[in-house]
Structure 1
Amino acid sequence: MRVAIVHDWLYVVGGAERVLEQLLRIYPDADVFALFDFLPEADRARIGYAKARTSFLQKMPFARTRHRVYLPLMPIAIEQFDLSAYDLIVSSSYAVAKGVLTGPDQLHVSYVHSPMRYAWDLQHTYLRESGCDTGLKGVLARVVLHRMRLWDVRTASGPNAIAANSAFVARRIRKVYGRTAEVIHPPITLSSQHYDGPRGNHFLVASRLVPYKNVEAVVRAFALLPDLQLVVAGSGPDAARLREIAGPNVSFVGFVSDEGLRQLMATARAFIFAAEEDFGIIVVEASAEGTPVLALGRGGARETVQVRGPQRSGMFFDRPEPEPIADCVRGFIQQEQNFTREACRAQADLFSAELFRKRFSRFVDEQMALHRAACEPRTRVLPRLEAVG
């Protein structure tokens, strides 16, 4: 069986690329297709492929740094991939990958990280943050996004089956595409060595410093908690402004390595997560280090943070605003002794890479069996015609 894996694009290693890595563990001989691939060879080797087959966007000017300007061309580009030689096509899609063209005898399974959020429920936020919400530029951007929505809905019927990375995304798929999706949570790389030393005095936020991550609300919350320490890890366009509004109890460490981040997580009193994410891999990574999570009670966090029972791994606040966050921190401190490293790690174990591979393999096998049964020729017995006259 020849397998093709179609990924939107490759220029940084994030959560979607970790899914690609596990898909290549399942199908090591698969060919990888992407609109463009600018990953260094070391990252490609880590993910598990030598070279992706790319589209004409690979050679477009500034594609490496300003690929979003080519958004109107992406539907055309993804449709140019010739996949006719493959029996199974797996698309890993958060933009356009699910729109590849396949035939009736091919099985196409799409793992949808999310419908294009900047074209759907985050359109207004995207336009505002990109400076395209007013004037002629705003009109053109809205026209482009409208056409992307039409294309996105039309191509939603292409995959034979769809898997979603969370129940939250599955609900969005149902609303936008009118299709039912199997929930298969993305893979988390769990540490083989556990830190069981003493905790530090700090609470931790780790994120790209952009508005929708709501780091500002956390920083302002700690102005209401002057006796507590907050560490902010990450970089981004909001970094300078956040430093200006931060109090003396907030420290910024900038970008840190994976190893450094895990050490910050393992020694934190709690990890604070104020964004509404489709899944939120970093939440589970914090739990894997044995650290409780204080999270906004929306989106994927409701599936990854256990707030009740013996496997309790965190608490929720209901709004990404300073006062509710500060109240949540105060409530956590009163119950801090009830949170154990063992319970947090047990919660993280539910999202291991091994479980992802088992669930996804089983899902594809089930869909392949249904597909082959549907493709089998059926012999139809025609009624015998009696001679007339």
Structure 2
Amino acid sequence: MKVALIHEWLDGYAGSERVLEQMLLCWPEAELFVLCDFLPGEERHFLRGKVPRTSFIQRLPFARRMFRNYLQLMPLAVEQFDLRGYDLVVSSSHAVAKGVITGPGTRHVSYVHSPMRYAWDLQGQYLRQSGMERGVKGLYTRWLLHRLRNWDAVSAQRPDLLLANSSFIAARIRKAWRREAAVLHPPVDVAGFPMATGPRRHFAVASRQVPYKRLELVAEAFRRMPDLRLVIAGDGPSAPLVREAAAGAPNIEVLGRVSQPKLVELVQGARAFVFAAEEDFGIALVEAQAAGTPLVCFGRGGAADIVQADTGVLFAEQTPEAIIAAVRGFVAEEARFTPQACRANAERFSAEAFRARLMEHCA
């Protein structure tokens, strides 16, 4: 069987590249197509020597630094890939990859990380954060997003099967594209977070500190619970806000960015991992479960797929009060959340489980 894998672009080894890595393990002889490839040499290990085929965007002026500025050309670029003669096409899509054109004899399965958030329900937030709510530039951006939205809805009809990375994304697909998607959770490196059964003395939160993560809410909640210790790890644009929320609270320790071994140690020693963001899925939550650590997290987004009754507690609002109530509820029943139950839950999201289910869907 001749297989083609479609990926948007290569410029780093992050979440979508980890999915691509597993696809390459499923089909090591597949040919790989990407819009552009600017992946540093030290991060190319997961390609296993494979050289991707690129689009005309690779050769556009300043593409190495500014390829995202060519977003308006990406639908055209992805439609130019010649996929004649392939039996199976598998795309990994968070923007345009699912829009490749295939013939009637080719099966196309698209793994969707999300429809274009900035073109659909998060358009207003994107325009505000980019400072483009008004003016000529704002008008042009709205026109561009309108065109992208139309193309996105049309091209979403092309795959034979859509796979969503969570029930939350399946609902977004249903709303934006009027299509049903099967849920296939992304692969998580559960082996990298060994289960620990030793003493657990603190609560932990670790993530990139950006506005939607709402880490300042977690800090404010624990400021009001001086009897409970919180350790915060991570860095990013919202770091000053997080440090301000934690300032003067002797029970809160802010570490900043930490190494991977230190992160694993931090999570393994936590009574619970606290998370206030609405994520499409939430890989950090599964990593915490793999370490045997229960969860206290916001109950929307991918967390609803991850947390089980014996592995964590969900709260319904992104407020300090809701976090306090959830943490206090967790402490009252802490003994029933065992490391073994958490680890067993995490195993559902292993890389091996992902590959097996992906192959079933593509058969």
Q: Under TM normalisation by the shorter chain, which class is it?
A: over 0.9
1:230-276 deviation per Cα after TM superposition (whole angstroms, max 9, x unaligned): 22222211112322332333333222333322221111111111111
Deviation at 1:323, TM superposition (A): 1.1
**Counterpart position of 2:317:** 319
- Larger deviation: 206-215 or 290-299? 206-215
Deviation at 1:65, TM superposition (A): 4.5
What is the DSSP-based 3-state SS (H/G/I as helix, E as strand, rest coil) of the residue aligned with 1:270? Answer: strand
**Counterpart position of 1:378:** none
Does the Cα contact within 8 Å between 2:197 and 2:292 map onto a contact in 1? no
2: CA distance between counterparts of 1:354 and 1:179? 28
* Percent identical: 53
* Amino acid of the structure 1 residue aligned with 2:52: A
**Counterpart position of 2:22:** 22
What is the DSSP-based 3-state SS (H/G/I as helix, E as strand, rest coil) of the residue aligned with 1:169? Answer: helix
What is the DSSP-based 3-state SS (H/G/I as helix, E as strand, rest coil) of the residue aligned with 1:157? Answer: coil
**Counterpart position of 1:302:** 304
Give the RMSD, CA atoms, in angstroms: 1.8
What is the DSSP-based 3-state SS (H/G/I as helix, E as strand, rest coil) of the residue aligned with 1:260? Answer: helix
Deviation at 1:50, TM superposition (A): 2.9
Deviation at 1:147, TM superposition (A): 0.9
**Counterpart position of 1:290:** 292
* Amino acid of the structure 2 residue aligned with 1:299: G
Does the Cα contact within 8 Å between 2:195 and 2:339 map onto a contact in 1? no
Change (3 A) 1:157 1:197: closer
1: CA distance between counterparts of 2:8 and 2:91? 8
- Larger deviation: 13-22 or 244-253? 244-253
* Amino acid of the structure 2 residue aligned with 1:51: V
Change (3 A) 1:272 1:23: same
Aligned residues: 361
1: CA distance between counterparts of 2:348 and 2:41? 31
1: CA distance between counterparts of 2:68 and 2:252? 34
Matched, 1:342 2:344: no
Structure 1 segment 1-389 matched on structure 2, within 5 A: 1-191=1-191, 194-247=194-247, 248=249, 249-306=251-308, 308=309, 312-365=310-363
Deviation at 1:66, TM superposition (A): 4.2
* Amino acid of the structure 2 residue aligned with 1:324: A
**Divergent runs of 4+, >4 A:** none
2: CA distance between counterparts of 1:159 and 1:258? 37
Change (3 A) 1:252 1:63: farther
Does the Cα contact within 8 Å between 2:207 and 2:233 map onto a contact in 1? yes
* Amino acid of the structure 2 residue aligned with 1:356: F
1:60-94 deviation per Cα after TM superposition (whole angstroms, max 9, x unaligned): 45544544322212112212222224221110001
2: CA distance between counterparts of 1:217 and 1:285? 22
Q: Which 5+ residue runs of structure 2 have no aligned equivalent? A: none
Deviation at 1:58, TM superposition (A): 2.5
Does the Cα contact within 8 Å between 1:44 and 1:51 map onto a contact in 2? no
2: CA distance between counterparts of 1:47 and 1:255? 28
Change (3 A) 1:225 1:149: same
Does the Cα contact within 8 Å between 2:72 and 2:148 map onto a contact in 1? yes
- Larger deviation: 150-159 or 134-143? 134-143
Change (3 A) 1:56 1:229: farther
Change (3 A) 1:250 1:98: same
- Larger deviation: 64-73 or 143-152? 64-73
* Amino acid of the structure 2 residue aligned with 1:270: A
Change (3 A) 1:259 1:141: same
Change (3 A) 1:61 1:315: farther
- State which structure, 1 or 2, has the greater radius of gyration over its C-alpha atoms: 1
Does the Cα contact within 8 Å between 1:162 and 1:181 map onto a contact in 2? yes
2: CA distance between counterparts of 1:252 and 1:140? 41
Deviation at 1:52, TM superposition (A): 1.9
What is the DSSP-based 3-state SS (H/G/I as helix, E as strand, rest coil) of the residue aligned with 1:283? Answer: helix
1:332-386 deviation per Cα after TM superposition (whole angstroms, max 9, x unaligned): 1111122110010011111111111111111111xxxxxxxxxxxxxxxxxxxxx
Change (3 A) 1:64 1:220: farther
What is the DSSP-based 3-state SS (H/G/I as helix, E as strand, rest coil) of the residue aligned with 1:277? Answer: coil
2: CA distance between counterparts of 1:259 and 1:66? 33
